Amino acid sequence: MDYRNLGRVGLKVSPLCLGTMNFGPRTPQSEAFSIMDNALEHGINFIDTADVYGGGETEEIIGRWLNQGARKRDKIVLATKVYGGRDPWPNATRLSALHIRAACEASLTRLQTDHIDLYQMHHIDRDTPWDEIWQAMEVLVLQGKIIYVGSSNFAGWHIAQANETAAERNFLGLACEQSLYNLTARSVELEVLPACQAYGMGVIPWSPLAGGILGGVLPIGTGSTASQGSARRTSKDLEDRVRLIRPQLELWEALCHDLGSAPAQVAIAWLLSNPAVTAPIIGPRTLDQLTGVVAALDLSLEPEVLEKLDTIFPGPGGPAPEAYAW
């Protein structure tokens, strides 16, 4: 496994991050345990979750897995998130110092650990000043309850504002940003990725397969490498999304077929070809899905293939402002 630094910090993570959103709601505990065991065997040491996944059940499953011993906690980089929640009381969500403290304690309990390696703000909170947020994070660092702080779903100017305020406080600031990024969603190339690179932050793309549509969804016989299982999907949402970009998907799956690689592997390899990207988040529901995606680490895309992908799924044209100005 070719481990890499999480941005400018010394923390080493695998080039794939195991996402756990399905654990509990869609993947039972026994299979979730098998997926995490198998990921660790493949050298994946980066596990991402959130306090809202499964209403807290996902963190509990991970906590029970960690509690099995075998130094599992020592071997992984454990990341979770703070922001949301289902509690109707006004201070039970967002990024007030009060909620950050309470949410961290609750996550530590569910995860059965004494510290969180990477504590990520799940969303921007426009109502809470950065000094309050950073003070709360600083306290958690001093208490040894968190080590690094990250962001998720931030705009470029949020990243700049957060890091500049942290610098004024002589605090490390953001170690990484977790953004929606895949071949069909490339807007982060305008300002988010350049901001992350400027501040030395890692980038952790979520939904690298665009909710499944880049994983091979067209019927057999159209140049697709899709399995019968994916060809028979009947999700109305998936059908609607496929219908909107079907011509692109036909070209995409034909190209993957010509490469002799599964679409999911090519989609992950495309992200990893970007030097700004640290580790795409893979969210397997089953052990077979995990095994298939891990093979993307052995796939290197030639420049001409990257050019073809840019033609099929055009990006914004580069970073701002050059992408839209002279």
DSSP for 193-238? HHHHHHTT-EEEEE-TTGGGTTS--SPTTSS----HHHHT---HHH
108 within a domain of the structure (yes/no): yes
Residues tagged active-site? 53
Q: What is the pLDDT of residues 41-51, one digit of tens each?
A: 999 999 999 99
247 within a domain of the structure (yes/no): no
Quote the pLDDT of residue 261: 97
189 within a domain of the structure (yes/no): yes
CATH number at residue 204: 3.20.20.100
Quote the pLDDT of residue 312: 98
Count other Cβ atoms within 10 Å, centred on residue 238.
15
Quote the pLDDT of residue 161: 98
Quote the pLDDT of residue 238: 85
Quote the pLDDT of residue 236: 80
CA distance linking residue 48 with residue 77, whole number of Å: 8
Residues in the chain, pLDDT under 70: 220-234
**Among 195, 180, 206, which Cα is nearest to 276's?**
195
104 within a domain of the structure (yes/no): yes
Quote the pLDDT of residue 224: 39
The total domain count for the chain is 1
Quote the pLDDT of residue 252: 98
Q: Which pairing describes strands 12-13 and 17-19: parallel, antiparallel, or unpaired?
A: unpaired
243 within a domain of the structure (yes/no): no
254 within a domain of the structure (yes/no): no
Strand partners, 79: 48, 118
**Positive or negative CA dihedral for 13, 208, 157, 314?**
positive
**Positive or negative CA dihedral for 306, 320, 13, 79?**
negative
CA distance linking residue 8 with residue 201, whole number of Å: 6
Quote the pLDDT of residue 233: 44
Quote the pLDDT of residue 26: 95
Quote the pLDDT of residue 234: 47
Quote the pLDDT of residue 36: 98
Quote the pLDDT of residue 321: 97
Q: Would the pTM count as exceeding 0.75?
A: yes
Q: Burial of 175 by CB count in 10 Å (0-12 exposed, 13-18 middle, 19+ buried)?
A: buried
For residues 165 and 139, the answer to whether their CB atoms sit within 8 Å is no
What is the residue range of 15's domain? Answer: 4-213+262-304
144 within a domain of the structure (yes/no): yes
133 within a domain of the structure (yes/no): yes
Quote the pLDDT of residue 230: 41
The CA distances from residue 296 to 16, 140, 145, 265, in Å, are 9, 36, 34, 4
